[in-house]
Amino acid sequence: MKKWMLILGVAAATLSACSNDEPSSDAKKDTKKAETQQESTLPSEGFYEDTTDLKVDHIHGLGYPASGDAFMLASHHGPVMYEDGVWKETTTEKHDYMGFHAVSDGFVSSGHPEPGSDYENPLGLLKSTNLGESFEQYAFEGEIDFHYLGAGYETGRIYVFNQMPAEGMENGFFYTDDLGESWETMAMEGFDAQQMSNISAHPTEADTVAIGTERGVYISNDGGKSFELAVEGVYTTYVMQGTEAAYIAELKDDKMVLHKTDLSSGEGETLVIPELTAENSIIFMAQHPTNTKELTFATLQNDVYQSTDGGDTWKQLLNKGSVK
């Protein structure tokens, strides 16, 4: 159970300390002006190399960056990619990305630079448009590591929960539409939970955001001004909003259960998944940006499973971080 709390551990005092003040000039950070939608490019030849001897530990996120078919895992020692049955890892830029989220033109993240790097630690809010060969730091570099971050795949909206108060951003929930040039405070009315699994931004609707908690899944359709408990009584380890439905990973009787749910009605179905216990909970999940039947999830013990038929069957791609 100790490992479980590492996933969901957000102290009650921290949540209750969220600011409800209107945004002010203090909630802005002088950083590079940013276009939220940018042109993505492929990394240089040789930046990623095929590998059959992969060992991944501490998965910190996964997704399909730059509207591509390959999915990326953010790990403690840099990103890795999987495409057409082949794993690839970077030869350089092995940064410890936290709060990682893929978007249509790349990925956004936070975290820590690799040893010997010239980047400030922590990395603040960053974005890469070339699959991690380089990135731009847009806000709070050297000040904040955003562990709780959600990004709309097509919208450019980024939601964060800040646990590291700094000049220009207090403890609490915020969002930005301009890569951190300015921030809006989320009032969080109706949100009443002590633990949080993750923040899930809707891929196409900027004002729709979901938060997984020990009470279930909260949903807001007004950018975090107000929330309602859309799915109640589901101890949530991860929630992912897709364009057609949400996927909710639940811990029930020490076993993992995966639901496909319409958050507006609360109706849905339970998918059959490999047997997983609390010690190996689902902690991240992603859906292919154009093929909604392709789903991938990662677990606490660094197992990775993928379905290409909407969750009817699953293939294990990593077993405890190693190639299956």
Of the CA atoms within 13 Å of residue 320, those in its CB half-sphere come to 1
pLDDT digits 0-9 by tens, 45-76: 999 999 999 999 899 999 999 988 999 999 99
Residue-number span of the structural domain to which 106 is assigned = 2-20+44-323
Domain total for the chain? 1
The structure tokens listed for 128 are 């890469």
**273: domain CATH number?**
2.120.10.60
Residue 276 lies in a domain: yes
Residue 321 pLDDT level (bands cut at 50, 70, 90): very high
Distance CA 132, CA 42 (A): 10
Radius of gyration of the chain (CA): 18
Whether the CB-CB separation of 244 and 268 falls below 8 Å is answered with no
Rounded distance, CA 264 to CA 5, Å? 29
pLDDT at 97 over 80: yes
Spatial strand order of the sheet with 216-220 comes to 196-201, 209-213, 216-220, 228-232
Is there a domain that residue 265 lies in?
A: yes
Determine, yes or no, domain membership for 271: yes
User: Is residue 174 situated within a structural domain?
Assistant: yes
Asked if residue 106 belongs to a domain, the reply is: yes
Distance of CA 91 to the CA centre of its chain: 24
Higher pLDDT, 6 or 56: 56
Q: Is residue 31 one of the residues assigned to a domain?
A: no
The reported pLDDT for the residue numbered 30 is: 39
Q: In residues, how long is the chain?
A: 324
Rounded Cα distance between 217 and 240, Å, is 10
Contact between residue 159 and residue 224 where contact means Cβ atoms under 8 Å apart: yes
Neighbours of 212 (CB within 10 A): 28
Please name the residues in contact with 15: beta carbons below 8 A apart, sequence gap of 6 or more: 191, 193, 194, 196
Q: What is the mean pLDDT of the chain?
A: 90
Identify whether 33 is part of a domain: no
In this prediction the pTM is 0.89
The DSSP secondary structure of 127-165, one letter per residue, reads EESSTTS--EEEE-TTT---SEEEE-TTT--EEEEESS-
Sign of the alpha-carbon dihedral angle for 38, 225, 10, 233: negative
**229-272 residue pLDDT tens:** 999 999 999 999 999 999 999 999 999 999 999 998 889 999 99
Contacts of 195 (CB under 8 A, 6+ apart): 8, 9, 10, 213, 214
CA–CA distance from 161 to each of 10, 44, 278, 315 (Å)?
10, 34, 25, 33
